[in-house]
């Protein structure tokens, strides 16, 4: 069986976020098929995400600091279904209005995640935080999940700003 190849270097060079393309490729993998990913840097944060989906990795340096990473199913099979990170919110329309606002649109990673998590630490359960970001915070979602927060987010109509509402505490 041939590897599924995905080159996200053009996306990264243009300042884009390739996580959606990567998860789309993972969803298209046949049973036992490997994903061969090309990136402009060693995508170490992705290793944890892919491990949680049942993949091991082999990272191979290329020229000019670029990398090829082969993600192979552990024991030939994926052990977990690909989980959507679109929203982990239970009825966000029933949440109270945001009590806290953060504008992180001009900040470079990881500063938005650091500020959001710090703000959530001092909020009461059930309070809502609204954050404006310059990109989809894909590495924030697992952190929110691990801490028991619920969230809903999307890009604004221009596609240039990501709006995120987070309800502190449990997912009820």
Tens-digit pLDDT profile for residues 51-76: 877 889 999 999 999 999 999 988 76
Section 143-171 average pLDDT: 84
Domain of residue 49: give its range: 4-76
Residues 66 and 112 placed together within one structural domain of the fold: no
Question: Average pLDDT over the chain, rounded to whole?
Answer: 84
Number of domains the chain contains: 2
Residues 103 and 160 placed together within one structural domain of the fold: yes
Residue 128 has pLDDT above 80, yes or no: yes
What CA–CA distance (Å, rounded) separates 55 from 63?
A: 25
Domain limit, last residue, from 76, 101, 124? 76
pLDDT at 67: 95
Residues 70 and 127 placed together within one structural domain of the fold: no
The 10 Å Cβ neighbour count of residue 95 is: 17
With respect to residue 87, please indicate whether it lies within any of the assigned structural domains: no
pLDDT at 170: 57
Question: Using 50, 70 and 90 to split pLDDT, how confident is the model at 28?
Answer: confident
Residue 84 has pLDDT above 70, yes or no: no
Residues 64 and 99 placed together within one structural domain of the fold: no
């Amino acid at each position: 069986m041939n590897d599924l190849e995905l080159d996200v270097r053009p996306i990264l060079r243009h300042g884009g976020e390739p996580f959606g393309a990567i998860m789309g490729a993972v969803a298209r993998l046949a049973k036992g098929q490997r994903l061969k990913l090309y990136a402009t840097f060693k995508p170490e944060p992705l290793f944890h995400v892919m491990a949680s989906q049942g993949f091991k990795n082999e990272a191979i340096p290329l020229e000019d600091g670029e990398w090829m990473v082969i993600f192979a199913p552990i024991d030939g099979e994926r052990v977990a279904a690909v989980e959507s990170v679109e929203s982990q919110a239970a009825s966000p329309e029933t949440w109270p209005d945001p009590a806290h606002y953060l504008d992180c649109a001009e900040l470079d990673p990881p500063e938005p995640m650091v500020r959001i998590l710090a703000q959530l630490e001092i909020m009461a359960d059930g309070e809502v935080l609204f954050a404006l970001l310059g990109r989809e915070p894909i590495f924030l979602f697992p952190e929110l999940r691990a801490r028991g927060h619920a969230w809903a987010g999307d890009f604004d109509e221009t596609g240039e700003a990501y709006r995120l509402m987070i309800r502190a505490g449990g997912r009820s």
